[in-house]
């Protein structure tokens, strides 16, 4: 009976490890998204993570369905995105099946920036002299 309990426990533990890996660490997809960086912020109660939203290019009739919500784990990428809010960006992302609290609130993790358009220093709002 003891041998059966140990064997069943070992099998359950292995299945749990496989499930956790598949759910939280297996890369489901990689790709790119382009659009206007709408929101980018560092937030959280216990784990402070970088979270952002990009309004996708194309039809802008219903903004909710055309938003790409993502998290950023790389500090360098996060600093670059903090500087370019409101500009057109093209980012590379990794998609997982589930999110982890210390990795971010989203299943999509942006790991690099391909392009930022409109960075030549011009501004619509002119500062007062």
3-state secondary structure of 60: coil
In a domain, 126, yes or no: no
In a domain, 110, yes or no: yes
Q: pTM of the full predicted structure?
A: 0.79
The CATH number of whichever domain residue 89 belongs to comes to 2.40.50
Cα 98 vs. chain centroid, distance in angstroms? Answer: 11
In a domain, 65, yes or no: yes
DSSP designation for 65: G
Q: pLDDT in tens for each of the 129 residues of the chain?
A: 888 899 999 999 999 999 999 999 999 999 999 999 999 999 988 999 999 999 987 655 655 568 999 999 999 999 999 999 889 999 999 999 999 999 999 999 999 999 888 765 554 544 445
* Amino acid 70: pLDDT: 96
Domain that holds residue 91: 27-117
In a domain, 123, yes or no: no
Listed residue (38, 111, 116) closest to 73, CA to CA:
111
- Which tokens sit at 82? 């903090």
- Which tokens sit at 116? 């930022």
In a domain, 60, yes or no: yes
Residues in the chain: 129
In a domain, 14, yes or no: no
Count of domains for the chain: 1
């Amino acid at each position: 009976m003891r041998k059966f309990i140990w064997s069943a426990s070992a099998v359950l533990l292995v299945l749990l490890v496989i499930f956790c890996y598949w759910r939280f660490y297996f890369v489901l997809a990689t790709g790119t998204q382009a659009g206007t960086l709408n929101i980018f912020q560092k937030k959280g109660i216990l784990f402070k993570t970088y979270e952002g939203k990009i309004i996708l290019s194309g039809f802008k009739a219903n903004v909710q369905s055309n938003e790409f919500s993502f998290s950023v784990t790389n500090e360098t990428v996060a600093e670059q995105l903090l500087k370019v809010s409101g500009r057109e960006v093209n980012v590379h992302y990794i998609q997982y099946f589930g999110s982890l609290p210390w990795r971010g609130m989203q299943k999509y993790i942006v790991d690099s920036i391909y392009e930022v358009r409109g960075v030549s220093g011009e501004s619509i709002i002119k500062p007062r002299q």
